Amino acid sequence: MGAFDLKGRVAVVTGGNGGIGLGMARGLADAGAALVVAARNRDKSARAVAELKALGADAESVTVDVTEEASVEAMVKETMTRFGRLDILVNNAGTNIRKPPHELSLDEWRQVLDTNLTSAFMASHAVHPVMKRQGGGKIINIGSMMSLFGASFAPAYAASKGGIVQFTKACAAAWALDNIQVNAVLPGWIDTELTQRARREVEGLHDNVLRRTPAKRWGTGADMAGVAVFLASPASDFVTGSAIPVDGGYSIQG
Ligand code: NDP
């Protein structure tokens, strides 16, 4: 088997029906993996599955709310029923509520933390016994530039994305001898529904991103495919607990 070959592997991508998740799912499909697109919006997931099938992949959608423990456990169960194995988990589902800390309510804080961080705990917790039994696995957690930096308009989001990096390290250490590699990806500014909304809500964001990004462009879903394949494949078997920026150089200069 080639170092980047994912034939025979089964990947679950939360939030895999659009944006970064679908970009990663396309890459994994291209490398030979079977895909489970796990999100809430059934129509969007059906479109993503059709697209992945058109690439030649075996693909299925599972409706999940990643903030609900029973729903996350059912996602893993349905994957096992349909495919009989689960090799790769991408904890990608995420959200943001853009307000300064003094305007953010506790409910809003919890909504962001539940969706971005607690979800990754619940899904990783649910797949660990499966991966351990299979003799190994790959978990890819999606962080952000806010894993490194703060922003006045993103207190809960920055807390969740900082947390995801530390959670990644803890799982990597705990599960290394189970042959489960756990890594984080820190995307720069990627053009998706999430950031289309951000561009409307945060004045000057578009120009600031272009000014600070050495590559002088926003990233795309396709830019996220290569790192997903690397971290999901045997090529990264000695890489664990890392947080890899995929950001056109955004994080290397102020
Ligand atoms: P999108 O808004 O395009 O995608 C978010 C995805 O998460 C959707 O597929 C959505 O599907 C899913 N989702 C949201 N809430 C839930 C939930 N409760 N249960 C299940 N699925 C859920 O955004 P992006 O592609 O931009 O974001 C993907 C990830 O990348 C997020 O974690 C985000 O924080 C991160 N990120 C994005 C950056 C960017 O510049 N775009 C930069 C850095 C990190 P549905 O609505 O159908 O449930």
Nearest-CA residue for ligand 1 atom 41 is: 190
Instruction: Report the pocket of ligand 1 as residue ranges, CB < 6 Å.
Output: 14-15, 17-21, 39-41, 44, 64-67, 92-95, 115-116, 142, 144, 187, 189-190, 192-195
Does 157 qualify as catalytic in the annotation? Answer: yes
The model carries a pTM of 0.98
Q: Cα(244)–Cα(31) distance, rounded to whole angstroms?
A: 20
Strand residues in the chain grouped as ranges (E):
10-14, 34-39, 59-63, 88-91, 137-142, 180-187, 243-246
Per-residue pLDDT of the chain in tens (254 residues, 90 and over written 9)? 699 999 999 999 999 999 999 999 999 999 999 999 999 999 999 999 999 999 999 999 999 999 999 999 999 999 999 999 999 999 999 999 999 999 999 999 999 999 999 999 999 999 999 999 999 999 999 999 999 999 999 999 999 999 999 999 999 999 999 999 999 999 999 999 999 999 998 899 999 999 999 999 999 999 999 999 999 999 999 999 999 999 999 999 87
Q: Which residue from 194, 220, 227 has its CB within 8 A of the most atoms of ligand 1, so it is best to mutate?
A: 194
CATH number of 2-244: 3.40.50.720
Find out whether 210 and 217 touch, Cβ atoms under 8 Å: yes
What are the CA-CA distances from residue 145 to residues 28, 84, 185, 244 (Å)? 23, 36, 10, 10
Active-site residue (options: 157, 167, 230, 250): 157
For the record, the structure tokens of 110 come out as 């919890």
